[in-house]
Structure 1
Amino acid sequence: MITDRVRATGFRQSAAAMVLLLGTMGTVGTALLFQYVGGYIPCALCLAQRTPYYIAIPVALAAAIAAAGRASPVLVRGLLLVLGGLMLWSLYLAVFHAGVEWGFWPGPAECAGGGGADLSAGNLLATIDAVHAPSCDEAAGRFLGLSFAGWNAIASAIFASVALGAAIAKSDRHARIR
C-alpha cells in the first residue's frame, strides 16, 4: 500500500520521461546537425548550453526505463526532479546567452571570438589551428526573431515544466497501487 508521502507513478510519469528523452535527444541532435551539416561553429556559450542535455539524456533514459518497469515511485519522481533541475540549468544558460546576444550584459572573457576559418579549403589539418569560436554576442542566425539560444530557452522551459509537472503530479486514477 502507498503511504501518504509517496505517490504512485503512472502514465503521466512514463509519458513525461519519454517526451523528455526524445526532446533532449532531438534538441542536442539538432544542434549537432547545425554544427556538422550546416557549418555553424558554436561559440563557448553554445557549447556550455549542451552540457545539461548531455547529462539529461541518460537520466531521461533511466527515468523512462524506471517508469516503464514500474520502479519505485521515489526513483521515478526523483529522476524527473533531476531532469527538471537540469532543464532549469539549461534555461538559465540559454537566457544568459540570449542576453549577451541582445547586449543586455557582457559575456565571459572566453567569448571574445575571432571568427571561424573556412573548413572547406581542402586541407583540414592546416586550417584546424586557425579555427576560432565566434563571438558569443553575435547570433549565428535568427528564426522568427529568436537566435539558437532563444529557441533553447523556450525548449528548456517546456522540458522543465514537463519534468517538474510530472514529478509532482498525482498518480493516474488507474495506476497500480503497490
Structure 2
Amino acid sequence: MRLRPFFSLILAQWPWIALASSLSMLAIAHGFERFAGLAPCALCLHQREAYWIAAAIAALALFARRMEGAEMTNRALNLLLTFAFVGGAIVAGFHMGVEYKWWPGLPSCTAAGGGAVPTDLLGSLNQPIHVVACDEAAWIFLGLSMAGWNMLISLKLAIYSGLSVLYPRGLTEKSDV
C-alpha cells in the first residue's frame, strides 16, 4: 500500500482537517469534563486555547482558499496553524512535566478560584471549593496523562501544518517549493 496519495490528500485538504481536529479535541476535553466528571486545572484550560486559536485560523484558511491567487495567504495561515499547534504542544509538555514532578507548576495551578463559575453564586457559598491541582494527572492511558497525549497530538498536527506550508497542493511528483 502506498501512503503518498494518503498524505497528499491530507496536505491538500489540511484546513478542513485542522478545523475538524481542533474542534474534536475541544469536544473530547469538554466530554471528559462533562460526562466523566474530570474538572480541568488551569493548565488544562490553557491547552484548550491553542485549539480555539487553531480552529479560528483554519476557518480563515478555508475562506482564503476561495480567493483567487491566495496561495501565499494560505501558506501564511498554515504557518500560523503550525505556530498554534506548536504552542499547544509546549503548554501540554509543560503540563506533563508538572504532572510527573519534573518541574513546579504555575502559581495559578494551586491557587483558589479555578474551575467553572456556578450559576447560583449565593447558594454555592456553603459548598466547599475544590481546586484541581495541575500536578495530579486525572487520567492516564498507556503510561501517558491527558497532557502527554495532547502534546503528542499537537506535535503531529504541527508537523502536518508545517508540511502543508511546504506542499500546499499535496505531495506531487514535482516539488511545490
Q: TM-score, normalised by structure 2?
A: 0.79
Task: Give the letter aligned to residue 126 of structure 1.
Answer: G
CA distance in 2, matches of 1:31, 1:105: 24
- 1:61 corresponds to: 59
CA distance in 2, matches of 1:69, 1:164: 22
Q: Secondary structure at the match of 1:51?
A: helix
- 2:135 corresponds to: 137
Out of 18, 21, 24, the residue aligned to residue 20 of structure 1 is: 18
CA distance in 1, matches of 2:40, 2:122: 19
Q: Is this contact kept in 1: 2:11–2:163, CA < 8 A?
A: no
Q: Secondary structure at the match of 2:103?
A: coil
Deviates more, 1:48-57 or 1:91-100: 48-57
Q: TM-score, normalised by structure 1?
A: 0.78
Q: Is this contact kept in 1: 2:11–2:160, CA < 8 A?
A: no
- What are the within-5 Å matches in structure 2 for residues 19-168 of structure 1? 19-67=17-65, 72-112=70-110, 126-127=123-124, 130-168=128-166
Q: Is this contact kept in 1: 2:76–2:165, CA < 8 A?
A: yes
Instruction: Assess, with a 3 A threshold, how the Cα gap between structure 1 residues 14 and 124 changes in structure 2: closer, same or farther.
Output: farther
Deviation at 1:71, TM superposition (A): 5.0
Deviation at 1:132, TM superposition (A): 3.2
User: Which runs of no fewer than 5 residues in structure 2 stay unpaired?
Assistant: 1-7
Deviation at 1:125, TM superposition (A): 6.0
Aligned residues: 160
**What whole-Å deviation, never above 9, does each CA across 1:17-76 have from its counterpart, x for those lacking one?**
111111011001100111122211100100111111111111111212323555510111
Deviation at 1:154, TM superposition (A): 0.8
CA distance in 2, matches of 1:107, 1:141: 18
Q: Secondary structure at the match of 2:144?
A: coil
Q: Is this contact kept in 2: 1:113–1:134, CA < 8 A?
A: no
Q: Is this contact kept in 1: 2:109–2:134, CA < 8 A?
A: yes
Deviation at 1:110, TM superposition (A): 1.5
- 2:167 corresponds to: 169
Q: Secondary structure at the match of 2:155?
A: helix
